[in-house]
Structure 1
Amino acid sequence: MNRHERMNALLELLGERGRVEVEEAAAQLEVSAATMRRDMDALADQQLLTRTRGGAVLSSVAYDLPIRYKRAHRADEKEAVAQAAAKLVERGDVVGLSGGTTTTEIARVLATRPEFAEAGPQPHLTIVTNSLNIANELAVRPQIKIVLTGGVAHSRSFELVGPFSELVLQQISVDIAFIGANGIDPVMGATVHDEAEARVNRLMAERARRAVVVADSSKIGARCFARVGAADVFDTLITDSGAKESVRREFGERGLRVVAARTAADG
């Protein structure tokens, strides 16, 4: 992991936790404490974090992280999840995508699949999303129809939330929805940091014939503030092979099918 990737990973770690200690971050990113201090100082100079005694917190300017800062961390795991998710999509489907790094990766995989990218008189796929960055990336592809929900832009995640988003979602039907999560455990199910995002994500899932929660294995066992849902909303969890077998079984016992996608490191 080079310095740029490492600093992005540190920002994502802060985005998930809000506060992190030097030693904790150094262990997580597998670097020395001295290196981590230098990275934190550099990001503090850019006003992307605020240094504290022994660590850092997100700055008031960037109290959560735009998608562009999150791409590098656990990229292999997210790509594996995205590839597994994309296999569930068929030509002509209406696909719901919430905001987030994993769902952004799903959008990229779908956009480059030959059966969705080839020229034709009509779009081969419809994407419904409340994510500004996903809509921005896919809008230039004429063979994919983009439906942006509208709403109030959430500065922490580039997601549109609020009653305008909900109004649009209430009027449509989706074949399959992929919903990202900041945390997921067998009891609480999928959770996110913000209640407005949780409400829109749940509604998108409820409007789908099939709802799938997508989260790399680092999110398993974590609980965040706002609940999206578990087997009452989703039928499948797609994660990566880092998820422990015992935890997979527990999800299954509670009614959630688990797909553990193999990463490139698995061979």
Structure 2
Amino acid sequence: MSIEVKGITKSYGEQKALDAVSFSVNKGEIVGFLGPNGAGKSTLMKILTTYLAADSGEASVNGSDVAAQQKAVQKSVGYLPEHNPLYLDLYVREYLAFNADVYHVNKSRIEEVIQLTGLTPEAHKKIGALSKGYRQRVGLACALLHDPEVLILDEPTTGLDPNQLVEIRDLIKNIGKDKTVFLSTHIMQEVEAICDRVIIINHGKIVTDKKLKNLVKETSVEQVIEVEFDTAVDAALLEALPNIAKVKNTKGNLWELTFNADADMRPVVFDFAHDNKLKTLQLNLKNKNLESVFREMTKKK
């Protein structure tokens, strides 16, 4: 296992940030760690990178205990925190050289990570003169300097514009071909584009842990169907459909139908139209996706 977490608990005063959290990450996986603000994501990442100590439980990275073997963990982990700490007055190569000395890494590695992270066009500049996207690349380059087996990335695309987001996303996906990647993010499209597996945490507890390809398919959530008929329909007829939870007329003959059902309800709506001699001008499943699963798993009880 690249990452092993067993019963990790952490409190800040009376607030329990992590409540007996357990999971494992296999070598070579790219795992998305999702949750609302304050769910405990950053706290767990700081424990895995030895920046924080847990109150109880055990965790290891590449077989090294995060409490008892901190140096070994730090050697095997590349960490990009949410607020990427950089020395803005240093040049890119100067900053990487400084960190290479900290890690006792050969200076030849600097050019390797500059090329790997696409920093070559901007490597001659001071970090303070770089765009947010290139600053994130500098952070990733620093995390990769000592060629770690595990990358832990906390909100790596926060504040990026759409073009920068795609660039960093592609970079992380490319890096993940050779390394284990454990990343937190609020951007669902990012998870869908990068990750093999999703762990969702809420109020300090794991609420789901599934392969991405199975998560949406297996999770029961409200299903919203948008349908437009060729003529007016009585709302009472739609309210009689099986598993219907809500009926909303959005405009004209366009309706939004919410079902509590796992199965695709579009055939039911189509049959309803046929039986009532109606034509469907459009029939779309709106929200059976990762975002809807996330909302369902983390909604306030």
Please tell me the TM-score bracket, short chain as reference: 0.3 to 0.5
- Using CA pairs below 8 Å that are at least 6 residues apart, which structure has the higher relative contact order? 2
Please report the TM-score for the alignment, with normalisation by the length of structure 2: 0.29
For the pair shown, the structure with the greater C-alpha radius of gyration is 2
Structure with higher helix content: 1
Relative to total residues, which structure has the larger strand share, 1 or 2? 2
State the TM-score, normalizing by the size of structure 1: 0.32
